[in-house]
Structure 1
Amino acid sequence: MWLSNELFRSVVDSTPLISIDLVLLNSKGECLLGQRLNRPAQGNWFVPGGRILKNETLDAAFSRLTREELGKVSARSDALLLGVYEHFYADSVFAAPGQGPDTHYVVLAYQLVMAEDDLLHPPHAQHDAYRWWPQAEMQACAQVHDNTRAYLDALR
């Protein structure tokens, strides 16, 4: 169920959002990150992911998000739950810090490992660039968002 901007702004202002983050690894152990176009975390490198919609099961949300964020449908049963995380942002999709609602996410982070022959076609609606990052480089780069770096400790 999609919400009008007015109603979604009220939701962002009033409640945490529940989302799934996709921590995607290739056969070299590198992680796929996109550079965010939109608030929150605009301009930072971040894992793909998105909100779970009202009345959407976790399995359905996972399939939708992998299709929308990676261009390839994957099943939640093929992923490993890394944990539950909280993300707090001073801004939101609606406004810069201090000019509107802040954003609070409760995030289910899942690790997916791609086979060497898997082809991805990530869209550019949320991210303007994508690249595979070695984990040591992710840890050291200030442009990789802290919330994304937090997943590194849980990777297997």
Structure 2
Amino acid sequence: MTEGWIPEDEWRTIVEHAPIVSVDLLVRFNGGLIFGKRENEPAAGYWFIPGGRVQKRETREEAVHRIAGEELGADVRIIESLGAYEHIYDTADVDGVGGKHYLANGFVVEAESSNLVPDDQHSDLKIFSESPEPLHEYVRQYLQDASTLPEWP
């Protein structure tokens, strides 16, 4: 399936009334982690990690590989599952719906290569060896919980 696989009016109803199941990826690459500077809500203006919603009949692990390919042009190996997180935002990419609610599943993955070309959600993709600023609080929680990352400043 491709971006926009849910019609806009149906997506609005989902965002307004239901949590969205997603995966977020701490991507180890070239001695650091890949972060993207968010262009859209929620979390516009923050450095965040690649991620996206899980599609129907897609496992979380399948979503990890699809999203790594779509957002980073990367094949990845899953290193660690961090579990589920509750992410509730006051803003959304849909106007007038009262924010967005995710049931986000965090993963640490290793990428062998990446083209690091930003998609339409990010103005920039960069590799960092320490936390960029501004870094969203939800990403900070992933960094604290990951046991397979080197000591993260």
Are the equivalent residues in 1 in contact too, given 2:20–2:53 (CA < 8 A)?
yes
Matching of residue 22 in structure 1 with residue 25 in structure 2: yes
Helix, strand or coil for the counterpart of 1:144? coil
* Partner AA of 1:8 in structure 2: W
The alpha-carbon deviation at position 23 of structure 1 amounts to 0.4
Are the equivalent residues in 1 in contact too, given 2:23–2:105 (CA < 8 A)?
yes
Helix, strand or coil for the counterpart of 1:128? strand
Matching of residue 66 in structure 1 with residue 68 in structure 2: yes
TM-score, length basis structure 1: 0.83
Count of residue pairs the alignment pairs up: 144
How much identity, in percent, do the aligned residues show?
Answer: 31
Are the equivalent residues in 1 in contact too, given 2:91–2:99 (CA < 8 A)?
yes
Helix, strand or coil for the counterpart of 2:144? helix
Are the equivalent residues in 2 in contact too, given 1:25–1:31 (CA < 8 A)?
yes
Q: State the partner residue of 2:151.
A: none
TM-score, length basis structure 2: 0.84
Matching of residue 79 in structure 1 with residue 79 in structure 2: yes
RMSD: 1.8
Gaps of 5+ in 1: none
Are the equivalent residues in 2 in contact too, given 1:85–1:109 (CA < 8 A)?
yes
The alpha-carbon deviation at position 27 of structure 1 amounts to 4.5
Larger relative helix fraction: 1
Are the equivalent residues in 2 in contact too, given 1:9–1:101 (CA < 8 A)?
no
Q: State the partner residue of 2:139.
A: 148
* Partner AA of 2:106 in structure 1: A
Q: 1:6 to 1:35 in 2, by over 3 A?
A: same
Are the equivalent residues in 2 in contact too, given 1:27–1:113 (CA < 8 A)?
no
Gaps of 5+ in 2: 149-153
Q: How does 1:1-156 map to 2 (within 5 A)?
A: 2-28=5-31, 30-75=32-77, 78-95=78-95, 99-115=96-112, 118-135=113-130, 137-138=131-132, 141=133, 143-155=134-146, 156=148
Helix, strand or coil for the counterpart of 2:13? helix
Helix, strand or coil for the counterpart of 1:79? strand
